[in-house]
Amino acid sequence: MTAVSVSLGVGPNTGAPVSSPLAGTAQRARERAAARESARAERRARLAGVNRRRRSDSELWEAARRGQAELGGSGPGSADEATAEEVIAWSVREFGDGLAVASSMTDSVLAYLVSQQLPWVDVLFGDTGYHFAETLGTRAAVEHELDVTVVDVRPRLTVAQQDAVHGPDLFERDPEACCRMRKVEPMREALAGYEAWATGLRRADSVSRASAPLVSWDSSNNLVKINPIAGWTDDDLVSYALRHRLVVNPLLADGYPSIGCAPCTRRVEPGEDARAGRWAGLDKSECGLHE
């Protein structure tokens, strides 16, 4: 039997380094991560040096009216409605860095779409303290894979602090109050620094969203609300994610078509509405952000 010499990083006899494919991959990953962080830092520095005037509510209301007239076609679902890319292009021209994306980290489609036209756009993630581990993993993957700036929007009270003040498991006793404190109010405070926000709201989500416009005035948060993929079906969303190899929350393939906080979200049975697993058994279908 002939002896075979195996070495790691050193060639036979000569002592010369042997190139490792894994080492090359790791080096490229480090370089990519460094370049991405540098680009993020440059954007932060640029924005910090700009004193931007947020337009008045009346000016933003007019922008919303103009956007809906320009993009809405004959009405929600009409053949002459603007495409998602056209809606985003208008939004970037109109608001620039005053535009933010809201994401529940169910998927990364909207964040990706916007980042193609506005690299390092702020993606607001409502970190309620009650998320599934899979949702937090998706959030980390989005930050790693996409040219976006993930902004964690957190409540003033931690879960433990809220339990101490309001009693344990407020979500069971008063889900409206829990949503308000852990999601709605923190997001409202975060949105105050922007002129417009893009959401992943789709008409296919539920009956209550069936007529959602592409652009509207959000009177609850006093800014322009943009729903670029409002007209997309579930198949549209899935096929786009697959085609572009985008990150999706693994819970989508485990019976959770709509994903919220873990204590208030269950799997959906065949034939049920996609949002039937949210606040099941309660007279509640929205957290309050889109009301």
Q: What is the pLDDT of residue 6?
A: 38
Whether residue 63 contacts residue 55, with contact meaning beta carbons closer than 8 Å, is answered with: yes
Q: If one looks up domain 82-254 in CATH, what number appears?
A: 3.40.50.620
Q: What is the pLDDT of residue 289?
A: 66
Q: Spell out the domain ranges in the chain.
A: 82-254
User: Which pTM does this prediction carry?
Assistant: 0.84
Question: What does the alpha-carbon distance between residue 228 and residue 118 come to, in Å, rounded to a whole number?
Answer: 14
Question: Average pLDDT by consecutive 10-residue portion of the chain (291 residues)?
Answer: 40 55 75 78 74 89 97 94 98 97 97 98 97 97 96 97 96 93 96 96 83 94 97 94 96 92 92 78 61 61
- What residues act catalytically? 287
**Residue 21: both structure tokens together:** 């494919």
Whether residue 231 contacts residue 81, with contact meaning beta carbons closer than 8 Å, is answered with: yes
Q: Report the run of H or E that residue 225 belongs to, with start and end.
A: strand 223-226
